[in-house]
């Protein structure tokens, strides 16, 4: 049986007229409730509603919808992003989520955009609402686990496996949209090479840099991942009774020095990514008496 694809777009009146004029010879006289018209060209059913919503359904749905696909407006869509890979302290968090056509307005109202452009206070408010609204999958890799894995893999290989696993987990919860985006951190061929030994691999992914500013699903995933990172940092600070600054600058060196003085160098692997240069400045042999 041929695969049926469904693409839902919100088209302007001019776009709707353009579409209708192109395929009006395939008009179906039987129109569904609340629809303005329905077209049945080869391998696709196109239904236009008064709200502007236009549904393309069938094996060749993408073929007929392609003139109106401009990236961020292509819905439904799944997107993924990671947080924590540039921070010396704290976990690596990866989230993949799905945005349906009817959810875009709510995301705009919540202020969804790249988590780096949203304050931590805003994220603590926005993310819980997103987690109730959207289907999502979240992975949190502790520093201790990350350090064990990094002994065998580089950062991009770890990120590739985490993004893939987030999509695999999301696929177990629901049906993935045909349009899936990753905020690109490595070229597409290399991404799949990193996954060559994985049992399950989600393919058909669109790779684009700065995707979190263009695609609502990536922006939402970025915020949920950042929220998980912040919560993990909160827990670390409570456990060790000290602050851990974000990033990998001079302030993190001071925090790391305080941690080592209190808990010893051997325990640093529980709170920090040891391959960062910050660690070298803390090793006993590199520390001035």
On whether the CB atoms of residues 73 and 241 are closer than 8 A, the answer is: no
Helix (H, G, I), strand (E, B) or coil at 3: coil
Q: Which fold has domain 77-235?
A: Nucleotidyltransferase; domain 5 (3.30.420)
Eight-class DSSP state of 88: S
Q: What are phi and psi of 180, to 5 degrees?
A: -135, 135
Instruction: Return the half-sphere exposure (C-beta side, CA atoms, 13 A cut-off) of residue 154.
Output: 7
DSSP labels, 172-226: HHSPPPS-EEEE-SS-HHHHHHHTTT-S-----EEEETTGGGT-HHHHHHHHHHH
Domain boundaries, the chain: 5-68, 77-235
Q: Which of 69, 5, 12 is nearest to 214 (CA)?
A: 69
Helix (H) or strand (E) holding 169: helix 155-173
Q: Does 5-68 carry CATH code 3.30.310.10?
A: yes
1: pLDDT strictly greater than 50:
no
Out of 112-116, 161-165, 168-172, pick the least confident. 112-116
The label of the residue with tokens 């890979």 reads: 85
Which residues pair with residue 206 across a beta bridge?
181
Please check the confidence at residue 288 and state whether its pLDDT lies above 80.
no
pLDDT (tens digit, 9 = 90+) per residue, 42-62? 889 999 998 888 998 988 887
Chain-wide mean pLDDT for the chain?
89
pTM: 0.75
Residue 213 Rama label (left phi>0; alpha psi -120 to 50; beta): alpha
9 or 168: which leads in pLDDT? 168
Is the pLDDT reported for residue 289 higher than 50?
no
C-alpha to C-alpha distance for 217 and 228, rounded to whole angstroms: 17
pLDDT for 208-261, tens place per residue? 888 887 888 999 999 999 999 999 999 999 999 999 999 999 999 999 999 999
Task: Give yes or no for a contact between 220 and 107, defined as CB atoms under 8 angstroms apart.
Answer: yes
112-124, pLDDT tens digit by residue? 866 677 899 999 9
Helix (H) or strand (E) holding 9: strand 5-10
């Amino acid at each position: 049986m041929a695969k049926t694809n469904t693409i839902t777009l919100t088209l302007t009146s001019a776009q709707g007229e353009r579409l209708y004029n192109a395929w009006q010879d395939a008009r179906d006289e039987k129109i569904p409730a609340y629809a303005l018209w329905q077209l049945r060209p080869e391998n696709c059913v196109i239904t236009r509603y008064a709200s502007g919503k236009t549904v393309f359904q069938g094996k060749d749905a993408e073929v007929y919808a392609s003139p109106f696909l401009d990236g961020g407006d292509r819905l439904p869509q799944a997107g993924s992003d990671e947080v924590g890979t540039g921070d010396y302290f704290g976990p690596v968090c990866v989230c993949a989520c799905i945005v349906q056509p009817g959810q875009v307005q709510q995301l705009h109202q919540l202020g969804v955009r790249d988590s780096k452009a949203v304050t931590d206070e805003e994220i603590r408010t926005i993310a819980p609402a997103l987690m109730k609204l959207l289907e999502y999958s979240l992975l949190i890799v502790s520093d201790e686990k990350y350090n064990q894995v990094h002994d065998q893999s580089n950062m991009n290989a770890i990120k590739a496996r985490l993004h893939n696993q987030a999509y695999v987990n999301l696929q177990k919860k629901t049906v993935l949209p045909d349009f899936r985006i990753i905020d690109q951190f490595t070229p597409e061929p290399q991404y799949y090479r990193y996954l060559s030994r994985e049992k399950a691999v989600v393919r058909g992914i669109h790779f684009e840099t700065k995707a979190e500013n263009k695609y609502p699903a990536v922006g939402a995933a970025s915020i949920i991942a950042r929220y998980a990172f912040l919560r993990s940092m909160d827990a670390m600070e409570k456990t060790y009774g000290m602050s851990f600054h974000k990033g990998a600058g001079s302030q993190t060196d001071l925090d790391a020095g305080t941690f080592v003085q209190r808990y010893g160098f051997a325990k640093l692997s529980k709170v920090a990514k040891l391959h960062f240069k910050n660690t070298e400045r803390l090793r006993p042999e590199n520390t001035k008496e």
